[in-house]
Each structure stands twice: as C-alpha cells, then as structure tokens.
Structure 1
C-alpha cells in the first residue's frame, strides 16, 4: 500500500477520510494523492493562455491549490509525502484517471451519507466509483482519531468468481493485521441451509494460505440488514465486500443495499472489484 488517493471537496467529511489515510500512510510509509474535482470541460480551459472561455475555471483551480496549501499545514500530515491534483472530469472519471496515472493502491473517501461529499458519494456517482474502480475503495463515515482494524467482516456469496477479491481482502487484512470474519447472509428469498452454506465457505477458502478467520452464516430479512446486524454483533471495525456491477453478486449493490452499506453504515466499508 504505497499510494493512497483521497478525493476531497475540503469538507469535514473529506478531512475525516484524509485523517484515516494519513494514519495508514504514516504506518505503511505511503504517499497520499489529494484529488479535487472541478466538473468543467477541460478542453475549454487553458491555464497558460491569456484568454479562456471559462475564466471561472482558472479561478476555482487557483482556489483549490490555495485550499490544498492550507490543508497540508495540518499537524497530522506533518512529514508525509502529499501530492495535489485538480481534475476537470466527472467525479468517477477523475478518480479512475488518477488511479491509472499514478498506480494507486487504495482510495479513501469520506461520507456522512446525506451531506458533505453528497455529490461524490450517493446515487449514481457512488455506484460508479465503487463498481468501476479496479482499486479498493474505503469509505469512511466518521472521524477516527485512531484507525485500528482488529475485526474485519468480509461478506460474500463465496462463489468462485469472488476468489480474486477475497485474495485482495486477505492482503488488506494482513497489512492491517486484522482478523477476518467471513460472512454469508441467509435470507428468506434465497434460503440455503446452514450445512450447505458452511460447506461452501470451507471449500472456498481451501485454495488460500490464510488461517486468521472465522466462518459465519447469519440469517436476516435482507442481505444488507444481515451484514450490518452481524457487524454490530461483533463490534466490527470494517466491512468488506465484492462488486462487479449487476452480475453475479450484484445484489450487494442494487438499490437499498448500496445505499445502506456504502452511504449509511456507521462502520467504514471497503469494496473490492471482481
């Protein structure tokens, strides 16, 4: 985890994410890339020209750099390597571009679910960033003066297509020295017996040299409720899951599940793309 991307609109929620990123960067000797998005057509903006069709774009870019400079004076960023960048894209495209350009290892985004980075983290933009990003996305809801992950819930249907993301989750758990709690939620609409569920998970993990985990089958009225209720029951520090659009385990990101877990869950959520 050498490079961490933090999209920011300079709000409190964005700074909560930056504080978490700073702790990770300090512990793992990572560099932080701060990204501010200006949703204006880049082809109409030429900061080197004496004339531009969008003079306000140059103004906002200079304002962003000023805010970057103020932000970098924070004590919690002292001695860390911070890069700043301003992109003229839609948010999810800007995130994708920076990740590809700088080979980012982790994205940390802030949200309180209903305000702050609302334009970044709810509705279609949330799902586009989470679904399309090949880079793991960590969504932080609150301020964490000490970001420590002891118990990490990984929710999945534990089919073969999820093995690649489970491997990424293992890497993340090893970096954080966290215990993983493998979770399969059983619902009335998609009922599977406990024996079959446990056997599926056991067969799934056989291919991996990783033993710091527990196996859990949890019954609830819906998948999102099950994930949140189980995580609450063990006081989990982090919830993780897989996503790859609307196929396979797409139920994790359809409708209310995406909203509940990415925007409304009180605990941090990390997603890994299949």
Structure 2
C-alpha cells in the first residue's frame, strides 16, 4: 500500500481518520495525502456599480481562505504523534469539490470520518462518505469515532452470493491474524434463497480462498443493512467489510446501496470494497 488519502474539511474529526491512517502508514511505509478542497463563497454585489469593488475584495478573501486552510493542513500534519510518517498537506483550489478530487486522487486506500446522514437528508443528498464510496476506485475505510490503535481482529464479512466476490482481490491491510473468517449473510423476507444453498456457496468461496476455519451466520432481518448492523453490534465487531457495485444515477436512486445504508447508521468502522 503506497498511498493513503485522508480527505478533510479541517474540522476536529480530522485526527480520527488521520491517526488511523498513520497507524497503517507506519506498518506499510505508506505516504499520506491529507487533502482539503477549498470551498469559496459566492460574491453577491449589492448593486451593479459595486461589481468591480466586489471582485477585488473577493480575490483578497479567497487568498485569505487559502492561507488559513493551508496553515490548518500543516498544523494537522505537524502533530508530534505522527512523527516519522510522511504526510503531504494537499490544498486543492480547482473548485471541483471534495468528492471529485478525492475519488480522482491516486490512492490505494481512502480513510475518512463520517457522521452519516438520516431522514430526508439521507434520501435526497446523503453523506460525503456515501458519495465517495459510490465513486471511489479504491477501498474506503469509514470511521465514526476515535480508535487508539487500529488493528482489527473481530471482523464481520457481510456477503452476498455473488460469484464476482470470488475474483482475486487485494485488501489494503491485514484482516486480523487469520484473515477473514466470520461470514454473515442476511436473509430477508423477500429473499428466496435457502440456507443450505447459501452455506454451499460460502463453503465453495472459502475453499477457493484457502480458508479452512470459518463461521457462516445466516441472520434473518427485515432488511440487509439492519441485519448487518445488529449482528455486528451483538458480536462487538471492530470492523465490517462490505462490497458495493457503485451504482450511480437513476439505478442508484431506485435500488440504493447496502454499503451506504450501513455506513450511515452504524457506529463501527466500515471498509467498503468495489465488486
């Protein structure tokens, strides 16, 4: 893992993601890009003759915003707790927005915090984490609260019986001492699959991956995100691993995403991988 991207809005939650990224960077000798995309206010002249004055003032305001943002980025990177790790403060002023810049950045892993979204906000807009997960071309690790030392061992691997999951893939960091071995399938009232078929698929998956010791839990729930979250809470998981198809546009609006629903409503770390 060469490059870890940590997007930030420069808020105090930045250190939640940055500290975990530093843990990983120390292990894998990675470089961290601490990335902030500047948001510029829109100038609003009061009357037509004020346009020239407004433009001049706006340039000065923009420069001050950039200076403050750069100083804040450098302050995060200079934290003594992060010594001996290469952190590159990266200020983006292209006006393309955080999501576009983050998902276009060359990265092996994106680490970020999220407060999630709920209600009307979730339905209409969603969270930044949701959008980044939808468009990212690399794994995304989403954190909700500080973690003193990120070393997940009790990992819930939520699966679907999708043969595309059997493809060889590289996880961005070590998945516990013995790898992934706690599989979860959520069976909803509209799911016609039978438990025997699900277990056969998981057995075949594990065999193909060389996994000899594992558990397969089939949990009944009214919907998949609820089943994943409730099970992870019951076993006190320290990481949930999910896969997403990254649907966009109308297809995403109609079908949604299990991964996005889970990361919006769980308090536990979530690693989202692209199928």
TM above 0.5, one fold? Answer: yes
Query: Is the Cα contact below 8 Å between 2:25 and 2:31 reproduced in 1?
Result: yes
CA contact (8 A) 1:135 1:273 kept: yes
Structure 1's unaligned 5+ residue stretches are 42-50
Q: CA deviation at 1:58?
A: 2.6
Equivalent in the alignment of 2:64: 59
Partners of 1:144 and 1:231 lie apart in 2 by 17
The aligned counterpart of 2:217 is 216
Where in structure 2 are there 5+ consecutive unaligned residues? 42-55
> How much does 1:125 deviate?
3.9
Partner of 1:270: 271
Structure 1 CA distance for aligned equivalents of residues 180 and 246 of structure 2: 27
Q: CA RMSD in A?
A: 3.0
Question: CA shift at 1:145, angstroms?
Answer: 1.1
2:116 aligns with: 113
Contact 2:77–2:89 (Cα < 8 Å) also in 1: no
Matches within 5 A, 1:180-191: 180-191=181-192
207 and 8 in structure 1: CA distance in 2 versus 1, 3 angstrom threshold: same
Alpha-carbon separation, structure 1, partners of 2:59 and 2:264: 33
Alignment partner of 1:135 out of 119, 134, 138: 138
Report the CA distance between 1:227 and its aligned residue: 0.5
Change (3 A) 1:167 1:210: farther
Q: Give the Cα–Cα distance (whole angstroms) in 1 for the partners of residues 117 and 162 of structure 2.
A: 33
SS in 2 for 1:183: strand
Q: Take 2:176 and 2:33, find their aligned partners in 1: how far apart are those partners?
A: 20
Using structure 1 for the length normalisation, give the TM-score.
0.80
Aligned to 1:48: none
Distance in 2 separating the partners of 1:63 and 1:197:
54
On the 8 A contact 2:21/2:32 being kept in 1, the answer is yes
What is the match of residue 160 of structure 2? 157
Tell me the CA shift for residue 235 of structure 1: 1.3
For the 8 Å contact 1:112–1:263, the answer to whether it is kept is yes
> Counterpart in 2 of 1:46?
none
Cα distance in 2, alignment partners of residues 79 and 160 from structure 1: 42
Whether the aligned pair in 2 keeps the contact of 1:13 and 1:141 (CA below 8 Å) is no
Equivalent position of 1:32 in the other structure: 32
